[in-house]
Amino acid sequence: MRRVWFGALSAALLSLCLSCVAGHLLSLPELDTQIQLQEQLISQHNDSAYVQRVMRLAKSAEMRSYMQPQLDACEDFFAYSCGNWPKINPAHAAQPRETNYQQLLANGYRHKQQRLLEQPADEDSDDLAVLKLKQLYASCLRYRQTPLPLYRQQLQEIAAAFGRMPALALPGQLWPAEAFDWLATVAQIKGTYGLDILLLLQQAPELQNQTRRRLYVGQPPRSAVEAPHEVAAQLEQHLGLEASLARQTAQQIVELESLLAKGMSSRPLGVLTEQRSPAELANAYAPTFNLTHYVELVLQRPLQPDELLYEHVDSYQAHLLVVLAQTPPQALANYIFHKLLQHFYYDRSAPVVARCMDSATQLFPELLTNMAYRQYGAASTLDDIDAVWQQIKRSFYNLLEHSNSTEWLSLDTRRLVLDQVNATRLLVNGYAHLNFTERYKSLELKPHDFLFNLGAVLSQRSALEPPAVVPTGPAYDPLENQVLLPVALLQPNFLWSRFYPRALRYGSLGTIMAEQLAHSLDTRDAWDAATLAEFGKRKSCYRHQYERLRYAGNYLPSSELQDNNMADNAAIQLAYLGYRRYLANLATTALTTEQLPSLSHSPEQLFFISYAQLWCNDANEQFRDKQSLLLTGTPNALRVQGALANLADFARVFGCARESPMNPEQRCLLYGKSVN
């Protein structure tokens, strides 16, 4: 039996090594799935020493494949740790223009979600909500077999529920322009499916008081302007328009979209807002359109005279007045119905599984995340992650309370910071608190009618709530004072495994959590003036240090926005302190578990390599040049170089000579001191 396990993993690893030569992992999802599936099957079989050795061999092979150990770690540690990444996962002129380790995580997570959806529905073990999600996914897969005429007929019926699309008029049939009421049409679409076309209506918390929710009306989300030929192809493929009519209609749609975009702001909801009364909204853009009437049509109730609303980006509404005046009703109607039907277009030429996974992710983001959470969020896994979190918090607390190098914090500010660190919680964002059975109890679906099911899910959602978006990365939530970890990080055999050295867990997952814990201190309104002055000196050190680093041949632009760089520096320091505390409590006989076969590195060196490999990436030349011109954040390579150069313990662990790039004479340090 052991030979079977070893043969399965060996085949996967052989494919992995061959892919390093023939192609890259990010372009080979089947290979990635095979490797992860084989590792998962093996890793879940038992805890024998044999299985542990196989899994550690696999991890060692992966880490070595990215490295260029012939380079000097003290000169360029990013190249030392990630130098082979571009050979294995090269970026291209088209897609992907950039490759990174986060994409590997995302691809692996998506494959795992796909397998969960493709497990046979079981009324005995699956929740009602899960059964409905699987039913929607299955109906999407089957819908590809729907005859094209029936598909187009369904699209026309969806449009007909809100009026008549001029481009769909029969030959010789007149479109009644005088009867078209664009405001009533977009309001009806909003009330039915929750789609914001031309105007937005949303209920959201006030900026000043997050506990109070208000109605926001105004500019809809900004979307990319498609090329005319792309829109024409959609109209031909999905609606069956004749080629010349499709091109003419597409030109109208794209021109209107371009005009609207010129008046749009990319600022988030709540930033460019003005408080309005219903009377003010009714008169602001009269007689062309009445925003109060629009809101009342969507809500299907009159607004009270003293009911306050927020107008979002009033300059857009003023711009809309101008656009409407120069747009023929027929072009406006075609635009509105096209924006509606785009949500129902089913591209039969696209890979069906990818298309249906997109639909499941967009329509049931929280439920699908919860399914993965219940699959991978075992109590032992969560306990392991929490142990790392608690170790990092203790390290930060001790650093702040006992280190001489934090004396620049006044006693009062130090107490505030200690209380903040102590109170910050960790949450793996699996939506375990939501009652999905109650949420979807009234949702009725059909086994073979995906477009019907799509409309049913959209109709079931509240028209005033924005579509749920599940964060794909870790984040700090200041309202709840908690660090949120995405469920994707629970995947075994990526950043962590019970078979891997803890060095890898602290170097990757530990630094991710520590970075967000550091961000919990980004708000400094309550700090006293003397402490803020000392903080400013340390921030200035980071600014001067990072502006001397080069990316794609250019120096990084000088910036006062150093919170991310300081969080990176704090993260590697805190995670390393936490790992050193773990090593100090580890029995001498167990130290061999903190090394990997075929890698001669010490446990502490493995810690730093795992940190660097978390940020391995490649970008094509054009993308890299553009990024260097529009740089708003620190590139991955310089995140690694900057943070590790500031940590004296890194230079000690790798024996870096004084004044080498990774052991500079001057360092920036916000909290604490080196371990030794």
**Nearby residues of 118 by Cβ (< 8 Å), 6 or more positions away:** 137
- Would you place residue 558 in the very low, low, confident or very high pLDDT band (cuts 50, 70, 90)? confident
Q: 439 burial class (0-12, 13-18, 19+ CB within 10 angstroms)?
A: middle
Question: Residues of the chain with pLDDT > 90: what percent?
Answer: 72
Q: What percent of the chain is predicted at pLDDT more than 70?
A: 90
Separation CA 110–CA 487 (nearest Å): 11
Q: What is the pLDDT of residue 18?
A: 39
CB burial of 321-354 (b: ≥16 within 10 Å; e: otherwise) equals eebbeebebbbbbbbbbbbbbeebbbeeeeebee
pLDDT at 505: 95
Give first-to-last CA distance, the chain, whole Å. Answer: 48
The single-letter DSSP state of residue 227 is P
pLDDT at residue 404 in the model = 73
CB 611 within 8 A of CB 508: yes
CB-CB contact of 58 with 9 (8 Å)? yes
* HEC readout, 346-366: CCCCCCHHHHHHHHHHHHCHH
Q: To 5 degrees, how large is the angle CA 269–CA 626–CA 95?
A: 85
Beta-bridge mates of residue 241: none
Q: Which residues of 6-23 are buried (b: 16+ CB within 10 A; e: fewer)?
A: bebbeebbebbeebeeee
Is the per-residue pLDDT at 469 higher than 90? no
Mean pLDDT for 403-409 is 80
Q: What is the mean pLDDT of residues 115-135?
A: 95
- The stretch 627-650 carries a mean pLDDT of 83
Rounded CA separation 133/445 (Å): 10
Q: Averaged over 41-59, what is the pLDDT?
A: 75
Which amino acid appears at position 163 of this protein?
A: G
In three-state secondary structure terms, 43 is helix
Q: Which two tokens stand for residue 673?
A: 């001191």
Per-residue pLDDT reduced to its tens digit, 182-227: 999 999 999 999 999 999 999 988 777 767 788 999 999 988 899 9
pLDDT computed for residue 465 by the predictor: 85
Characterize the bridge pairing of strands 213-218 and 309-312: parallel
Q: How far apart are CA 627 and CA 635, in angstroms?
A: 9
Whole-number pLDDT of residue 637: 92
Q: What is the mean pLDDT of residues 557-584?
A: 92
Q: Angle of helix 511-519 relative to helix 379-402, nearest 10 degrees? A: 50
Is 536 exposed, middle or buried, given 0-12, 13-18 or 19+ CB atoms closer than 10 A? exposed
| Three-state secondary-structure class, residue 163 | coil
Alpha-carbon distance 539 to 513, whole Å? 22
Average pLDDT over residues 152-172: 94
Closest Cα to residue 386, out of 270, 279, 509? 509
**Cβ neighbours around 630 below 10 Å, total:** 8
Integer Cα distance of 661 and 317 in angstroms: 54
Q: For 442-463, write each residue's pLDDT tens digit.
A: 999 999 999 999 999 999 988 7
pLDDT of residue 11 exceeding 50, the answer is no
pLDDT at residue 2, as a whole number: 35
> 590: burial class by Cβ within 10 Å (0-12, 13-18, 19+)?
exposed
Neighbours of 132 (CB within 10 A): 24
Q: What is the pTM of this model?
A: 0.86
200-214, 285-299, 323-337, 442-456: which range is least confident on average? 200-214
**List of residues 6+ apart from 481 with CB closer than 8 A:** 420, 423, 424, 425, 520
Q: Which helix (H) or strand (E) holds 130?
A: helix 128-143
Q: Note whether 329 and 182 are within 8 A (CB).
A: yes
- Check whether 631 has a pLDDT greater than 70: no
- 89-112 per-position pLDDT tens digit: 998 877 778 899 999 999 999 999
Count of CA atoms in the C-beta half-sphere (13 A) of 406: 21
pLDDT digits (tens, 9 = 90+) for 471-486: 889 999 998 999 999 9
Place of tokens 């409590």: 585
Q: What integer pLDDT is reported at residue 632 of this predicted model?
A: 60
